[in-house]
A = this chain, B = another copy of it.
Protein backbone atom coordinates (compact mmCIF):
# COMPACT_ATOMS: atom_id res chain seq x y z
CA UNK A 1 0.00 0.00 0.00
CA UNK A 2 1.10 3.53 -0.66
CA UNK A 3 2.76 5.07 2.38
CA UNK A 4 1.97 8.32 4.13
CA UNK A 5 5.36 9.66 3.00
CA UNK A 6 4.77 8.70 -0.65
CA UNK A 7 1.36 10.38 -0.61
CA UNK A 8 2.72 13.58 0.87
CA UNK A 9 5.57 13.53 -1.66
CA UNK A 10 3.19 12.94 -4.56
CA UNK A 11 0.44 15.43 -3.79
CA UNK A 12 1.70 17.99 -1.34
CA UNK A 13 5.49 18.41 -1.54
CA UNK A 14 7.09 21.08 -3.68
CA UNK A 15 10.43 22.88 -3.42
CA UNK A 16 10.18 25.67 -0.86
CA UNK A 17 9.62 29.03 -2.53
CA UNK A 18 9.01 31.76 0.00
CA UNK A 19 9.63 29.46 2.98
CA UNK A 20 13.21 28.75 4.05
CA UNK A 21 12.24 25.09 4.47
CA UNK A 22 8.88 23.59 3.52
CA UNK A 23 7.34 20.10 3.51
CA UNK A 24 9.79 17.35 4.47
CA UNK A 25 11.39 18.26 7.81
CA UNK A 26 9.99 18.13 11.36
CA UNK A 27 8.62 21.62 10.94
CA UNK A 28 8.58 24.37 8.36
CA UNK A 29 10.97 27.30 8.61
CA UNK A 30 9.77 30.80 7.76
CA UNK A 31 11.41 34.17 7.50
CA UNK A 32 8.91 36.83 8.58
CA UNK A 33 9.08 40.09 6.65
CA UNK A 34 10.53 43.09 8.48
CA UNK A 35 7.93 45.37 10.05
CA UNK A 36 5.14 42.84 9.67
CA UNK A 37 3.07 41.07 12.27
CA UNK A 38 1.96 37.47 11.78
CA UNK A 39 -1.70 36.45 11.63
CA UNK A 40 -2.57 32.77 12.20
CA UNK A 41 -5.88 30.92 11.97
CA UNK A 42 -6.95 27.28 12.22
CA UNK A 43 -10.17 25.64 11.05
CA UNK A 44 -11.36 22.08 10.61
CA UNK A 45 -13.83 20.72 8.09
CA UNK A 46 -15.41 17.41 9.12
CA UNK A 47 -17.19 15.10 6.71
CA UNK A 48 -20.90 15.05 7.51
CA UNK A 49 -20.72 18.31 9.46
CA UNK A 50 -19.07 20.78 7.06
CA UNK A 51 -19.39 18.90 3.80
CA UNK A 52 -21.40 15.95 2.57
CA UNK A 53 -19.58 12.60 2.68
CA UNK A 54 -19.98 12.32 -1.11
CA UNK A 55 -18.90 15.92 -1.79
CA UNK A 56 -16.61 16.51 -4.75
CA UNK A 57 -13.17 16.43 -3.17
CA UNK A 58 -11.92 19.32 -5.30
CA UNK A 59 -14.45 21.57 -3.58
CA UNK A 60 -13.42 20.20 -0.16
CA UNK A 61 -9.78 21.04 -0.93
CA UNK A 62 -10.80 24.53 -2.02
CA UNK A 63 -13.05 25.17 0.93
CA UNK A 64 -10.63 23.86 3.59
CA UNK A 65 -8.17 26.56 2.54
CA UNK A 66 -10.82 29.20 1.75
CA UNK A 67 -12.36 29.26 5.23
CA UNK A 68 -8.94 29.95 6.73
CA UNK A 69 -8.00 32.60 4.17
CA UNK A 70 -11.32 34.23 5.04
CA UNK A 71 -10.14 34.54 8.65
CA UNK A 72 -6.92 36.17 7.47
CA UNK A 73 -8.94 38.47 5.19
CA UNK A 74 -11.04 39.56 8.18
CA UNK A 75 -7.79 40.60 9.88
CA UNK A 76 -6.58 42.54 6.82
CA UNK A 77 -3.65 40.15 6.34
CA UNK A 78 -1.91 38.97 3.20
CA UNK A 79 -1.93 35.15 3.19
CA UNK A 80 1.55 33.65 2.85
CA UNK A 81 1.71 30.06 4.08
CA UNK A 82 -0.51 27.10 4.99
CA UNK A 83 -0.24 23.77 6.80
CA UNK A 84 -2.61 20.91 6.09
CA UNK A 85 -3.53 18.04 8.43
CA UNK A 86 -5.78 15.34 6.97
CA UNK A 87 -7.32 12.24 8.45
CA UNK A 88 -8.52 9.73 5.88
CA UNK A 89 -10.35 6.45 6.48
CA UNK A 90 -8.56 4.93 3.47
CA UNK A 91 -6.34 6.09 0.66
CA UNK A 92 -8.34 6.78 -2.47
CA UNK A 93 -5.86 8.37 -4.78
CA UNK A 94 -8.48 9.77 -7.17
CA UNK A 95 -10.14 11.52 -4.22
CA UNK A 96 -6.80 12.81 -2.99
CA UNK A 97 -5.64 14.01 -6.40
CA UNK A 98 -8.81 16.09 -6.85
CA UNK A 99 -8.59 17.39 -3.30
CA UNK A 100 -5.00 18.47 -3.89
CA UNK A 101 -6.01 20.19 -7.16
CA UNK A 102 -8.70 22.22 -5.42
CA UNK A 103 -6.38 23.16 -2.57
CA UNK A 104 -3.40 24.04 -4.77
CA UNK A 105 -5.47 26.08 -7.23
CA UNK A 106 -6.76 28.41 -4.54
CA UNK A 107 -3.30 28.47 -2.90
CA UNK A 108 -1.66 29.60 -6.17
CA UNK A 109 -4.37 32.15 -6.79
CA UNK A 110 -3.94 33.56 -3.26
CA UNK A 111 -0.14 33.56 -3.15
CA UNK A 112 -0.09 30.85 -0.47
CA UNK A 113 2.67 28.27 -0.14
CA UNK A 114 1.88 24.89 1.45
CA UNK A 115 4.76 24.37 3.87
CA UNK A 116 3.85 21.39 5.99
CA UNK A 117 1.28 18.91 7.06
CA UNK A 118 0.26 15.63 8.55
CA UNK A 119 -1.63 12.72 7.05
CA UNK A 120 -3.08 10.00 9.19
CA UNK A 121 -5.76 7.33 9.29
CA UNK A 122 -9.09 8.27 10.83
CA UNK A 123 -12.54 9.62 10.05
CA UNK A 124 -12.46 12.03 7.10
CA UNK A 125 -11.53 15.53 8.30
CA UNK A 126 -9.27 18.31 7.13
CA UNK A 127 -7.62 20.94 9.31
CA UNK A 128 -5.78 23.88 7.79
CA UNK A 129 -3.62 26.44 9.52
CA UNK A 130 -3.14 29.60 7.48
CA UNK A 131 -0.44 32.16 8.19
CA UNK A 132 -0.39 35.67 6.84
CA UNK A 133 1.32 38.98 7.37
CA UNK A 134 0.01 42.45 8.09
CA UNK A 135 1.95 45.70 8.59
CA UNK A 136 2.53 46.15 12.34
CA UNK A 137 -0.44 47.79 14.05
CA UNK A 138 -2.65 47.62 10.95
CA UNK A 139 -4.65 44.42 11.61
CA UNK A 140 -8.43 44.64 11.45
CA UNK A 141 -10.00 43.48 14.70
CA UNK A 142 -13.39 42.77 16.19
CA UNK A 143 -12.91 45.19 19.05
CA UNK A 144 -12.53 48.51 17.25
CA UNK A 145 -16.12 49.47 16.33
CA UNK A 146 -17.00 53.05 17.28
CA UNK A 147 -20.32 54.77 17.98
CA UNK A 148 -21.55 56.34 14.76
CA UNK A 149 -19.76 53.89 12.44
CA UNK A 150 -21.62 52.64 9.41
CA UNK A 151 -21.95 48.87 9.25
CA UNK A 152 -21.10 47.31 5.90
CA UNK A 153 -21.12 43.89 4.37
CA UNK A 154 -19.51 42.52 1.21
CA UNK A 155 -21.22 40.45 -1.48
CA UNK A 156 -24.50 38.73 -0.71
CA UNK A 157 -25.60 37.10 2.50
CA UNK A 158 -27.47 33.85 3.03
CA UNK A 159 -26.55 32.21 -0.28
CA UNK A 160 -24.63 29.29 1.20
CA UNK A 161 -27.35 28.53 3.75
CA UNK A 162 -30.01 28.72 1.01
CA UNK A 163 -28.03 26.29 -1.13
CA UNK A 164 -27.82 23.92 1.82
CA UNK A 165 -31.57 24.33 2.47
CA UNK A 166 -32.14 23.48 -1.21
CA UNK A 167 -29.94 20.38 -1.02
CA UNK A 168 -31.90 19.32 2.06
CA UNK A 169 -35.22 19.96 0.27
CA UNK A 170 -36.34 22.77 2.62
CA UNK A 171 -36.50 25.40 -0.15
CA UNK A 172 -36.61 25.14 -3.90
CA UNK A 173 -34.12 27.22 -5.93
CA UNK A 174 -33.63 26.93 -9.65
CA UNK A 175 -31.52 27.86 -12.67
CA UNK A 176 -28.70 30.35 -12.37
CA UNK A 177 -29.93 31.43 -8.93
CA UNK A 178 -29.34 27.92 -7.64
CA UNK A 179 -25.94 27.73 -9.32
CA UNK A 180 -24.92 31.04 -7.77
CA UNK A 181 -25.86 29.81 -4.29
CA UNK A 182 -24.14 26.43 -4.77
CA UNK A 183 -20.90 28.17 -5.75
CA UNK A 184 -21.07 30.18 -2.52
CA UNK A 185 -21.61 26.97 -0.54
CA UNK A 186 -18.98 24.80 -2.21
CA UNK A 187 -16.23 27.13 -3.40
CA UNK A 188 -16.49 30.39 -1.48
CA UNK A 189 -14.10 33.18 -2.41
CA UNK A 190 -12.21 34.52 0.60
CA UNK A 191 -12.27 38.33 0.50
CA UNK A 192 -8.52 38.76 0.81
CA UNK A 193 -8.13 41.84 -1.40
CA UNK A 194 -11.02 43.54 0.38
CA UNK A 195 -9.51 42.82 3.80
CA UNK A 196 -6.24 44.42 2.76
CA UNK A 197 -8.05 47.47 1.33
CA UNK A 198 -9.98 47.90 4.57
CA UNK A 199 -6.87 47.94 6.73
CA UNK A 200 -6.57 51.57 7.85
CA UNK A 201 -10.13 52.33 6.71
CA UNK A 202 -12.45 50.08 8.73
CA UNK A 203 -12.63 50.30 12.53
CA UNK A 204 -13.65 46.67 12.97
CA UNK A 205 -14.17 43.57 10.84
CA UNK A 206 -15.16 39.90 11.04
CA UNK A 207 -15.98 37.24 8.50
CA UNK A 208 -19.57 36.06 8.32
CA UNK A 209 -18.74 32.37 8.76
CA UNK A 210 -21.00 31.97 11.81
CA UNK A 211 -23.92 33.94 10.38
CA UNK A 212 -24.64 37.65 10.05
CA UNK A 213 -26.25 38.27 13.44
CA UNK A 214 -23.71 36.09 15.26
CA UNK A 215 -20.86 37.95 13.56
CA UNK A 216 -22.40 41.32 14.43
CA UNK A 217 -22.79 39.99 17.98
CA UNK A 218 -19.08 39.24 18.22
CA UNK A 219 -18.23 42.79 17.12
CA UNK A 220 -20.82 44.23 19.54
CA UNK A 221 -19.44 42.22 22.45
CA UNK A 222 -15.76 42.83 21.78
CA UNK A 223 -16.26 46.53 20.99
CA UNK A 224 -18.82 47.09 23.76
CA UNK A 225 -21.35 48.66 21.41
CA UNK A 226 -24.73 47.88 19.87
CA UNK A 227 -24.80 46.90 16.19
CA UNK A 228 -28.01 47.86 14.44
CA UNK A 229 -28.85 46.12 11.16
CA UNK A 230 -31.56 47.19 8.71
CA UNK A 231 -32.89 43.90 7.38
CA UNK A 232 -34.25 45.37 4.15
CA UNK A 233 -30.79 46.64 3.24
CA UNK A 234 -29.00 43.30 3.66
CA UNK A 235 -27.93 42.20 0.17
CA UNK A 236 -28.97 38.69 -0.79
CA UNK A 237 -28.97 36.49 -3.87
CA UNK A 238 -31.47 37.40 -6.63
CA UNK A 239 -33.07 34.02 -6.00
CA UNK A 240 -33.74 34.99 -2.37
CA UNK A 241 -35.17 38.50 -3.02
CA UNK A 242 -38.72 37.33 -3.64
CA UNK A 243 -38.79 35.19 -0.51
CA UNK A 244 -36.86 37.53 1.77
CA UNK A 245 -39.82 37.83 4.15
CA UNK A 246 -40.42 34.10 4.43
CA UNK A 247 -38.96 32.22 7.36
CA UNK A 248 -36.42 29.96 5.57
CA UNK A 249 -34.85 32.86 3.66
CA UNK A 250 -34.87 35.14 6.71
CA UNK A 251 -33.21 32.39 8.72
CA UNK A 252 -30.60 31.85 5.97
CA UNK A 253 -29.82 35.57 5.74
CA UNK A 254 -29.67 36.36 9.44
CA UNK A 255 -28.45 33.13 11.00
CA UNK A 256 -27.13 30.93 8.20
CA UNK A 257 -23.41 30.41 8.45
CA UNK A 258 -20.90 29.61 5.77
CA UNK A 259 -20.97 32.96 3.98
CA UNK A 260 -17.37 34.03 3.79
CA UNK A 261 -18.16 37.69 3.30
CA UNK A 262 -16.74 40.45 5.48
CA UNK A 263 -18.86 42.40 7.92
CA UNK A 264 -17.15 45.63 8.96
CA UNK A 265 -17.71 49.03 10.48
CA UNK A 266 -16.18 52.29 9.36
CA UNK A 267 -16.60 56.00 10.10
CA UNK A 268 -19.36 57.60 8.00
CA UNK A 269 -16.94 59.96 6.30
CA UNK A 270 -15.12 57.03 4.69
CA UNK A 271 -18.07 55.84 2.63
CA UNK A 272 -16.74 57.37 -0.60
CA UNK A 273 -13.41 55.55 -0.14
CA UNK A 274 -15.28 52.32 0.48
CA UNK A 275 -17.49 52.83 -2.57
CA UNK A 276 -14.34 53.40 -4.64
CA UNK A 277 -12.84 50.16 -3.29
CA UNK A 278 -16.05 48.37 -4.21
CA UNK A 279 -15.78 49.58 -7.79
CA UNK A 280 -12.07 48.75 -8.04
CA UNK A 281 -12.56 45.23 -6.65
CA UNK A 282 -15.82 44.67 -8.58
CA UNK A 283 -17.34 43.49 -5.34
CA UNK A 284 -20.57 44.83 -3.91
CA UNK A 285 -20.16 46.61 -0.57
CA UNK A 286 -23.42 47.58 1.09
CA UNK A 287 -24.22 49.74 4.11
CA UNK A 288 -26.63 47.69 6.20
CA UNK A 289 -26.67 49.46 9.54
CA UNK A 290 -24.85 51.48 12.13
CA UNK A 291 -23.02 51.23 15.43
CA UNK A 292 -24.58 52.92 18.42
CA UNK A 293 -24.21 52.95 22.19
CA UNK A 294 -25.58 49.93 23.97
CA UNK A 295 -24.95 46.24 23.58
CA UNK A 296 -25.90 43.30 21.41
CA UNK A 297 -27.48 43.25 17.97
CA UNK A 298 -30.75 44.79 16.87
CA UNK A 299 -32.28 43.92 13.51
CA UNK A 300 -34.81 46.48 12.27
CA UNK A 301 -37.67 45.80 9.85
CA UNK A 302 -38.78 48.21 7.12
CA UNK A 303 -40.77 50.29 9.62
CA UNK A 304 -37.72 50.64 11.83
CA UNK A 305 -39.03 48.25 14.44
CA UNK A 306 -36.93 45.58 16.11
CA UNK A 307 -37.46 42.12 14.64
CA UNK A 308 -37.59 39.05 16.78
CA UNK A 309 -34.48 37.14 15.72
CA UNK A 310 -32.54 34.26 17.13
CA UNK A 311 -29.07 35.58 17.76
CA UNK A 312 -27.36 32.22 18.17
CA UNK A 313 -26.12 31.86 14.66
CA UNK A 314 -24.18 28.90 13.39
CA UNK A 315 -22.86 26.96 16.38
CA UNK A 316 -21.76 23.36 16.17
CA UNK A 317 -22.74 22.55 19.72
CA UNK A 318 -26.23 24.03 19.91
Contact = CB atoms under 8 A, between A and B. Distances in A.
Interface of A: 1-5, 7, 20-21, 24-32, 37-44, 46-50, 70-72, 74-75, 77, 81, 83-85, 87, 91, 115-123, 125, 127, 129-132, 134, 136, 139, 141-143, 205-207, 222, 312, 315-318
B39 A29 contact: yes
B27 A39 contact: yes
Which 8 residue pairs spanning A and B have beta carbons closest together? A46-B122, A123-B123, A27-B41, A26-B74, A26-B71, A30-B38, A42-B83, A127-B127
- Copies of this chain in its oligomeric complex: 2
Contacts of A205: 26
A71 B28 CA distance: 10
B315 A122 contact: no
Contact of A49 (B72, B120, B125, B132): B120
A315 B41 CA distance: 28
Contacts of A142: 24-26
Contacts of A74: 26-27
Contacts of A40: 27-28, 30, 81, 83, 115-116, 129, 131
A3 B314 CA distance: 10
A205 to B, nearest CB: 8
A132 to B, nearest CB: 8
17 contacts: A7-B317, A20-B139, A25-B75, A26-B207, A28-B41, A32-B32, A38-B38, A40-B116, A44-B85, A44-B118, A44-B120, A46-B87, A46-B122, A49-B87, A50-B120, A120-B316, A123-B125
